[in-house]
Structure 1
Amino acid sequence: MKNLKMSIAAMLLLTISFTNAQEKEKMNHGEMEMDHSKMKMGDAKTEVILTDYFMLKDALVGDDTKKAAQAGTKLVASLKSFDKSSYTKDQQKELTDIIEDATEHSEHIAESAIDHQREHFKILSKDITDMIAITGSKSTLYQQFCPMYDKGSAWLSTSEEIRNPYYGSSMLKCGKVQKTIQ
């Protein structure tokens, strides 16, 4: 009887161990799938960068130099914390170049008057658009274009409604949706 109890206990332990191993394998497989889908749809770090970028855009739309400078500072931090490790070597190299350039422009925005902020925002917008082409985004974005500012300038928005960051209140609705990014 003692041997039978020991055998049953041993079988239970083996069953529990095997079940735990199966659950762990399922979890690891699920995490791998999640990482794969993240690459297609944009990851959390990309979304943080976009949030900071849109905060900056909105500050420029509102002609608010101080808020634009604060958003530029936040964007610098978001860009510097971006994790490129889940991308291919070529993508990592491209992302490194984009992030370095975007960081430099964000730093200038954090330290400049509004006219100079808008000049840097033009190039920053190109950098962020290039980044999204690699990382993707969870949201539908609209690339908008103003033909008047500096021989034509684009920016990204979460809305189809035109709110021009290059002219702010003086030409708020100047521009058009150039492309939808999904």
Structure 2
Amino acid sequence: MSKLKSTLGIVAIAFITLTAVSCKDNKKEQNNTEGNHSEMNADEDHSKMDHDNSDGHHDSDKKEMAMSGDGDSELILKDYFNLKDALVADNNAKAKDLGANLVTSLGNLDISSNFSDTQKIELKDIIEDAVEHAEHISESDIDHQREHFKILSKDVTDMVAITGTENTLYQLFCPMYDGGSAWLSMSKEIKNPYYGSKMLDCGEVQKEIK
């Protein structure tokens, strides 16, 4: 009987010891897993930082392109057309972002050369006014965005009259919005940015710009 008790006691101690070791190993494995998870998060964060840096590099390239001369006015037109499309789609949030993009591309217009003194003065006034309206678009609800887009469209049209353009553009006109409002497009197809889905095909081709 005494031997049985002794044997049972040894077995119990061995079981407790094994249980304690097993818990420690599990805890260690869990800590390692958490450590690896943290490293993964760090790698993900680093990846995001790298992505942001690559975007910054792209912006730098874009700025260099803008400073090359006539290319900067084409970048303005590209951002303008993207903004127009966002308004056609009734997308207020996207129009805000594109309005901010347009502020940047307008600011990159190089008027230091290739233009006469009179043209430089005119372009400076046009760009200052266009930047103001693009800024409002980046902060406003869609109804106000469309109000500012009307004046912005006139500014961009006036800019093109001086800088010229590499593409054929069309000045389209909506007789219904605010007593009549124009906008620029690369297509003759009417997609109205002032009314969007409410009156998408309201308008007509006013003139061709080459």
Same-fold status (TM-score > 0.5): yes
For each residue in 1:45-70, what CA deviation from the matched residue of structure 2 results, as whole angstroms up to 9, or x when unmatched? 00000000000000000000011001
Name the aligned partner's letter for residue 138 of structure 1. E
Question: Separation in 1 of the partners of 2:81 and 2:97?
Answer: 12
For the pair 1:78 / 2:109, whether they are aligned, the reply is no
Structure 1 ranges of 4+ moved more than 4 A: none
TM-score scaled by structure 2?
A: 0.67
- Residue 162 of structure 1 deviates from its aligned partner by 0.3
Question: Separation in 2 of the partners of 1:133 and 1:82?
Answer: 15
Bigger relative contact order, structure 1 or 2 (CA pairs below 8 A, ≥6 apart):
1
Percent of aligned pairs sharing the same letter: 67
TM-score scaled by structure 1?
A: 0.77
Question: Separation in 1 of the partners of 2:200 and 2:157?
Answer: 22
For each residue in 1:95-135, what CA deviation from the matched residue of structure 2 results, as whole angstroms up to 9, or x when unmatched? 00000000000000000000000000000000000000000
Corresponding residue for 2:93? Answer: 66
Question: Separation in 2 of the partners of 1:137 and 1:64?
Answer: 27
SS of the residue 1:145 aligns to:
strand
Aligned residues: 141
- Residue 85 of structure 1 deviates from its aligned partner by 1.4
Larger radius of gyration: 2
Alignment of 1:150-161 (within 5 A): 150-161=178-189
Question: Separation in 1 of the partners of 2:204 and 2:98?
Answer: 24
Aligned residue among 171, 174, 195 for 1:143: 171
For the pair 1:115 / 2:146, whether they are aligned, the reply is no
